[in-house]
Structure 1
Amino acid sequence: MTAGLDQAKFFERTIRALTPLDAKRAQSFLADLRVRAREDELDGVVALLDDDKAASFIAAVLDLSPFIREALQRVPRILDWLARSTPEAALQEILADIAVCGAEEGASEASLMAGLRLKKREAHVLIALCDLAGIFNTEATTGALADLAEACTGAAIRFLLRDADAAGKIRLVDRNDPERDCGWIVLGMGKFGARELNYSSDIDLIIFIDDKKPAIIDPYECVETFSRLTRRLVRILQDRTEDGYVFRVDLRLRPDPGSTPLAIPVGAALHYYEGRGQNWERAAMIKARPVAGDRESGAAVLAELSPYVWRKYLDYAAIADVHSIKRQIHAHKGHGDIAVRGHNVKLGRGGIREIEFFVQTQQLIAGGRFPELRGNQTVAMLAKLAERGWITEQARDALTKEYHFLRDVEHRIQMIADEQTHILPEDDEGFARVAHMMGYDDADKFAKDFLEALKVVERHYAALFEQAPGLGAEHGNLVFTGDVDDPDTLATLSAIGFERPSDICRIIRTWHFGRYRATQSAEARERLTELTPALLKAFGETKRADEALLRFDGFLQGLPAGIQLFSLLQSNPRLLNLLVMIMSAAPSLAEIITRKPHVFDGLLDPAIFAEMPTRQYLDERLQAFLGSATVFEEVLDRLRIFAAEHRFLIGIRLLTGAIDGVRAGRAFSDLAELMIAKAFEVVEAEFQRRHGKVKGAKVALLAMGKLGSRELTACSDVDLILLYDHDKDAEESDGEKPLAPSQYYTRLTQRLIAGLSAPTAEGVLYEVDMRLRPSGNKGPVATHIEAFGKYQRNEAWTWEHMALTRARPIVGPDEFQAFIRQEIDVVLASRRDREKIARDVREMRALIEQEKPARDDWDFKLKPGGIIDLEFIAQFAMLIGAARQKPRPLGTEEMLAGLDPAFVDPAEADRLVAAHRFYTNLSQTIRLCLGRDASKDEFIPGMVDLVCRAADVPDIKRVEHNLKEIAENVRASFNRLVV
């Protein structure tokens, strides 16, 4: 099981040395732990902490992992296991204790939940310490985590079975062995099934019922009975209590989860898989394993499913489908170099998912003929694939090494705060923390090794695509010369996927005749002719090939030149796939590059996907782009060009899955903030040239709404308030055309609005909305800071204070911005009548529903249980002082995550955060593709896959199921909390 000596205690072994981020801080944490151990009279732990080697290691861990530090400070006796026993024996004792949880006389569901949580924490910390020390290798760590999940699931299952038996719902064969012949089949899927769990993993379960088993009294009632038990199982394992949670549970891998119960009879499940099962479901079943309940029946079900998963003969249609999945995933991940900071170790390019997919696709193709390739563990199957000659020994060794490395990185990311994240921190401290936990003293050396690991995986993963079926001679002719359609070419185009092949021939002949600027040169036409088969094949694989190719034709018409692009597309299939995706799935982006082909130039930068669109990244590129431009109109035009290009590039990152909707919102907001700041700078300078300055002037722009909360989308307008101050004796500005202060700032604001929103040849920078200023449209467009403060304290309505929760200054002198923030904080911290605020919020929500009802379930913003409900819950909590975080959070997700447990149960808060993220990811994707919110009927076919990916579910039915369930839960929370 381990890399060390099985009979030696923890600190008698050779352990990996770790370096803390801050040695002084680490020693302080160690001293605190010693005090706690002495207070609890834990002599063994005190002795352990007095040992130099043990103390050095534990001090480093305390500094590097806040989660482990908190757990040990809270329960220092966890270390007693290591003081008196070997790690292996300690874990076996804990698992034995878990196995009898809930079995004692008089046990209740509450006592079971408490016992599982306490024991899970002990095991979790021990596994982490053994992993960090190098005592457990990757397989030992993931296996121990899977054993822990299996033990906890089994204990809960046995308790529920006994409880159901006592209630007369089922009739157990043996109450001392309740799982035997109970008919309740619990299959572990994914990493749980494969015994490859990560440190903060969900556990994926599928629940079946064998209604022929003797424990089942009434086959007609068993679905309801076991669905209810399954719901309780999820609650026992997943709900957050004062002791934490055991494991989050995901049941969405079951057949058609939108319309099936939580527990499905075996017969219905087999009928589904044999008649409607998808290839991705075949792939999922590779890792299935009975983990609790009626294991004998579970094994029988998997044996029955074996012919469905493992085809006896090579299924060429299935192979083509698998290759299609490869191409889609490949295109979705972006292209170019690989990032390090901010990189998703699981889903990003060169990540864990690519190794898993590499293995599973080979298994699906070959496992039918070679039973030895049917295992469910990634590394073991790499070895078997090499044995059978499906991959080289070099590929086996390289991917095995990098799989272990990347899984270790994933575990350390999660050990920081016990969060289910796979993203390397972007900040220096967070990144160094992971590096040190990996045993590196030098973060740059870790970054170099990590980057090399991703590149190795990417090279092997890319080789899968070289094997994909090509558009070869077997498809027939592709001839576009002359004026008459070639019959064989029409047949070929139809076979590829085009519905109007004659129209496609006409378009391509237009290209070859050089009627566009991009195809006027002979060399450009030659490059395009060579590219045409690949283009047609790529467009033919989309769901509406004709429409997508027409959009590409419109793009070509606007191109000033074509040689560079055609050569690039020919040598870079990833870029070709990306362009096809835009044309087939995102008409809004296609329209942008058709009208402004220059925005596509940004994709020629090979580093585009290696860099995350952070504020610093955008700022550096803006300075380089503006160069020496100083003339007012020239600077504004360059800002419009820069904004259009980078909105497009942020959108591309979202489209390809390089960033999610939340990060896209931050990036769109950072871009807007930069553009507004630079535009204000040049507008103010131009204004001062004629009207001078006001004595003691201070000006700031206050971002409101989605800009304030950093949640902008690709097509958002910006909400702004201009605030100013000046010396009390200032009567007018000092320029050649002096103005009184109020008139001065009114005109300055009007100039800024014109600069941002006036349409020009380069388009509009941003539409500006100033209706959130004091007194709304009736008030002046510029507001004196003193008037602003008085209004907010004495006259503002509840809805204005709700809007103020998202306000932040983005332009202006630092001290003036700090003063504004302080003013806002004072206003928001004012004591309020909770009942009155709740009444105002509910009335406002009801008024919105009455005057602007949601058009359908896809109206995420307005629907009952939608984004407005989430925003109102967060803003209501801020106004009544139910938020804990300092400094004050601005984004809805951050507000919800920091709510006081006295206001909302942490488990409910987690669900609200997840709901907001779900809506955000969907909304960002839809707005990116269509340029606006839309109902499902307006989705073009290529979009559906993107929407499903944004929702992290395999089909649109599941998206709709989740939407309905989330909306009901959010509305219930709104009704319960806003009181």
Structure 2
Amino acid sequence: MTLPSGYQRLEISTEELPAVLAEEVELHWLNLFERCEPAQRAWYQTFSASDCRQQLLTAFACSPALAELCARHPAWLPELILSKEIETALPESAWRDALRRLCAECDNADALAKCLRDFRNRHWLRIVWRDVNRLATLEDTLRDLSALADACVDEALTVLHQQLVAERGEPQAADGTPQQLVVIAMGKLGAGELNLSSDIDLIFAYPHAGSTVGASRSDDNQAFFIRLGQRLIKALDTRTPDGFVFRVDMRLRPYGQSGPLVISFDALEEYYQNQGRDWERYALIKARCIAGDRDEGERLLTQLRPFVYRRYLDFSAIESLRDMKSMIQREVVRRQLQDNIKLGSGGIREIEFIAQCFQLIRGGQEQALQALQLQVILPELANMAYLPSQVVDELQQAYRFLRNTEHAIQAWRDEQTQQLPDSGVALTALSVAMGFGDDIEAFQQCLAQHRERVATHFANVIAPPEVEPSVQHLSNNRWRAMLDDLDQDKVRDTLVEAGFGDDATEAARLLVALLGGASVLRMQNRGRDRLYDFLPLILEDLCEADSPAATLLRVIPLIEAVLRRTAYLVLLIENPGARGRLVKLCDASPWIARQLSAQPVLLDELLDADSLYTVPEKAGLVSELRQRLLRIEKDDLEAQMEALRHFRLAHVLKVAASEVTGSLPLMKVSDYLTYIAEVVLDAVLDIAWQNLVDKHGSPVPLGDDQRHFLILGYGKLGGLELGYSSDLDLVFLHDLPSDCVSDGDRPLDAGSFFTRLGQRIIHILTATTRLGALYEVDMRLRPSGNSGLLVSSFTAFSDYQHSQAWTWEHQALVRVRAVAGDEILAQKFNTLRAEILAKSRDILVLRDEVVGMRQKMRDHLLSASDKNAEFDLKQGTGGIVDIEFMVQYAVLAWSQQHPPLTHYTDNIRILESLAEQGLVSAADTRILIDAYKAFRSQAHRLSLQEQKGLIADTALGTEREIVSRFWQQLMLSP
């Protein structure tokens, strides 16, 4: 290698830096010299021999990102040293004044982007230098980083607002008052506690409706501010050769990604008043106006304060925060984030939760608890005697240590992470940055002590009380004796004596096979001990089951599934309630047992009986899923897909648990299973849309907050009759003209965009991951079936339904609903559906076609079971499909004279409409509805027992006779 002219090695001693870092620093030093001018080289040589030498070594050792910035911009560090900026924290006004002068010279978007990035990077270098060398306190670092972000957002907004006014005119309220965008910062930036590599959570709002004036083309205020918001995000978030300014996250706005980018104050206040969730209260604790019209921003936050802080003592906040923490803990386990100093046990998030718990409970009465900064709140908790002074001292010390550790981790590569490095150079650098030199063990011990204290205090304040370990039953001795002498005959005899009945022989065989199998023999001693501690407990609990042996046969596959993850056994050992619920559910349903065996992560759901047997309403499902997805990086599709799958699995389990225990009736079961699917579809559409827009831009004209895309649900989804294993019959529509083109760097015409959107939605739904597929999807009901376009335009769909669709396709249209997407397009579809269903038809021809289609289905789908003294609940004569076909015939035959028949898509409400219209007597309607419910209830029970939809030929005879009689009268009589 040819060394640069004048290059001198640093010759770092082990006293100055550990050897593993010295070599890295030498390489950074060489890289710097290769890019310096001669005068700069001389300065660096002199500086490296000055009293500041150790600062240079520490900064280069602890932050390769800083060293690279110095190499890319060799003049920056000399400027910062000579101007003495490196020695002190800057006043808030200095940030904006300096950036304003620089931005004044920017005459286009590219110049502004470079100006902002250079400003950010230069000050990031300064802040990191001060932080790793402990020239700054933690408070200095947090304040500087937050002030840097405030300045960048505010000055960028000012420049972009002026440019857009020149193009589109000035936005004004109806009374002529000029309007400005209001930028609300949430999270760490809102609290003035930004970290070194954090993204920034923002909400955009504007005070009043109106339109722009002063330009040849006028926009309404929302369109203007949406355009301005898009430009602001692009100026800050887009990665260029100079990097980005800050990653911008807008998902905390009302309705998340599916909501408009900018919203008026009135709409924002109405949203929080009518739809705001507990987690949104939690988020708004740290809300702060950082840019735009600050007076209006403060007015908005004042209006929202009653939503955040209740006038009364609100102890429900404990449960809300506990639930949020529980969800985070599950994410930590699933994503193996135990070494994450933010989310892991005893991490930063737990300290924040402790403070915010008291804020939400008492903030309405104690205004001092409405402060934004955690380090202001904690001392107040001691002053008010809500927490002992020692606890607060330990939390403050831990917070400072953890936040300094977080900054040191992020300084390494300027990456948004809180994950501890597991070994190597990065871990040594972290130890050095934290003041422990190369004594990594001492650093780790200190960190562990802080986390342990935090976890303890968190448990005392917010975590649910731990269940005491179960006291062993005296009768466990017989089970331990049985396991010590694992003879199959003796095992069978013991099971028989305990009441395990006729299946005891098979249960004994499988139990002996399990314990003598290779999987158990290969287990480490600790895991095997857990297994042998667990078995006596579960066997004793099984004695309380209605069918102990059958239930044991269902539990054994679950035990086999967790042999490599015996933490699940510990969960069941230490939580008798969860273990009892496991036995109860597996006793009631082999389907539930198989779900738990396939996905043991669902055992977490058994810990809380209230949660397990309580199914949230749809709004609660929406809120919960949104919280889960907000904790995931918006470009991490794999993690989003896993979160969606876990959400669905958990809530379907809750529905099944509620059904088998009798707390949820049949109609509610189908409703909730349908709600779950709708909420998932809505989130999948959001994710797929955002993914595609990131790549290709949006095809929707600016200022239009509709997506012009609709997902239709056919069949059981459309009729709100989903079962546990139902697939989704879907059709996709769009209504953008074909000449619309997306506005990204890789533009697509509207047709291609929506086709790719449909493909991405199907991929997210059907891809098999660690947690399986979300749903099986059937797209064959779209126009022209499998040979048709994946996404139809609304015009083409309408033309097809009017002129080409078969009668059976109009039958299918009876049970179709818009389940996700554009509300305006959904209204258009509803109008079209009603129009098609109410077409004039020849009643005799229609009846012949419906009867002919029913006979084809019966001939093709009805099994030979009818000949074997069994009745097929769905396809059998007088069964479910006969009722469905009669309902569909009635809607197609009579809707022209009776339009209300088109209002509903589920069979029961359509039957009720027939009675209301005087077409069927109320008594006959009730009889048909009762028969329909009886069939479906039996089908649900069989599904949970993993049995086919077949019953004895003598069962439900009265109901079948009634349906057959109605079929004869309506469909076959002259």
Q: What's the TM-score, normalizing by structure 2? A: 0.50
Which structure's relative contact order is higher, taking Cα pairs within 8 Å and 6+ residues apart?
A: 1
> Based on CA coordinates, which of the two structures has the bigger radius of gyration?
2
